[in-house]
Amino acid sequence: MQQNLPSELAQLKAMTTVVADTGDIDTIARLKPTEATTNPSLILKAAASGRYDRLLKAAKTNNEAPELRVDRVLVGFGCAILEHIAGRVSTEVDARLSFDWRATVQKARRIIALYEAQGIDRSRVLIKIAATWQGCQAARVLEAEGIHCNMTLIFCTAQAEASAQAQATLISPFVGRIYDWFKAAEGASWNEAAMAGANDPGVQSVRAIYKRLKSAGSRTQIMGASFRNKGEILALAGCDLLTISPKLIAELDASVGPVSQALAAPPITQEKICISEPDFYYALNCSTVATDKLSSGIRSFVADTEKLQALLY
């Protein structure tokens, strides 16, 4: 009977918006996803391939400091990606600004202005911001201006709550990086089979976030991100969106088997979200994985932003 089933990817798309997690324009043109997400690491990888030198060259024509040229490269990739998708592209704010809400707001406005100068409506762009407390305050300001935000590097429910409280359009809770952390922490005692699928700690984190926000009636969309295997993806079928690497999209497309809906919005049973700054920091402090992975994620994005910037002197 399975031979008559559509691919796992087709079944997943019937219940979840599948987003391509890549900065490679040619790959997006081939996959034709609804939406796409980028980050400094993905853009650096694409830029270093040599296939998009025209975008780097275009950024250098402006008499600006290299850190400002980075914005033009990000927007250049974003505009090229939008030629191949019907939905939105996510473009990340400089992670060096993760603890400065005012500078984050200014950078986001600049990025949107660059898009609009190319004729791209702001409704087609999601500004990615690390879900620090300051990042969430920046999102509150930006959303009020009609600049939609994708809060990223989310590893605990407190980050999701602060993002939703700020009325962020979308959040990206990470699955694979949580999986990596727990696997490394367990070492030789890690049981891969026992911790797969619904038992994966990254999957469980997203499920808890999904339940909390939906039960509170939040309109913030939830997009699972950072996957290590297709089992993690299928365990979150039904999530609002899932951003998936081209490799795993291809694997899902080549696989046939029944895909069951794992997530469905529960009834609104909880009070509206209300989290204070002290409560946010205390919850983050209590989660070792969130503290570690948020910090290392910001450092990683900063390092790749600086590498990208070095290409623009």
Residue 108 contacts residue 101 (beta carbons within 8 Å): no
| Residue 116 is assigned to a structural domain of this protein | yes
Query: Containing domain of residue 210, as a range?
Result: 9-310
| Residue 280 is assigned to a structural domain of this protein | yes
**Can you tell me the mean pLDDT for 95-113?**
98
Q: Average pLDDT, whole number, for the chain?
A: 96
| Residue 165 is assigned to a structural domain of this protein | yes
Q: What is the pLDDT of residues 31-88, one digit of tens each?
A: 989 999 999 999 999 999 999 999 999 999 888 999 999 999 999 999 999 999 999 9
| Residue 75 is assigned to a structural domain of this protein | yes
Number of domains forming the structure of the chain: 1
Looking at residue 97, what DSSP letter applies? G
User: Residue 104 is part of a domain; what is its CATH number?
Assistant: 3.20.20.70
| Residue 1 is assigned to a structural domain of this protein | no
**Can you tell me the mean pLDDT for 126-140?**
98
% the chain with pLDDT above 70:
99
Query: Residue 2 pLDDT more than 70?
Result: no
Which pLDDT value is given to residue 1?
45
Q: How far apart are CA 68 and CA 109, in angstroms?
A: 13
Q: How far apart are CA 312 and CA 302, in angstroms?
A: 16
**Can you tell me the mean pLDDT for 1-29?**
91
Q: How far apart are CA 36 and CA 20, in angstroms?
A: 5
240: nearest Cα among 151, 147, 172, 148? 172
* Catalytic residue IDs: 128
Q: Please, what is the end-to-end C-alpha distance for the chain in angstroms?
A: 59
Which pLDDT value is given to residue 27?
96
Q: What is the pLDDT of residues 203-229, one digit of tens each?
A: 999 999 999 999 999 999 999 999 999
**Tokens 């997006």 correspond to what residue?**
28
Residue 263 contacts residue 288 (beta carbons within 8 Å): no
Which pLDDT value is given to residue 3?
61
% the chain with pLDDT above 90:
96
Q: Is 241 left (phi over 0), alpha (psi -120 to 50) or beta?
A: beta
Which pLDDT value is given to residue 147?
98
Q: What are phi and psi of 36, to 5 degrees?
A: -145, 145
Residue 168 contacts residue 281 (beta carbons within 8 Å): no
Which pLDDT value is given to residue 312?
93
| Residue 2 is assigned to a structural domain of this protein | no
Residue 298 contacts residue 95 (beta carbons within 8 Å): yes
Q: What is the pLDDT of residues 182-209, one digit of tens each?
A: 999 999 999 999 999 999 999 999 999 9
pLDDT band with cut points at 50, 70 and 90 for residue 288: very high
| Residue 31 is assigned to a structural domain of this protein | yes
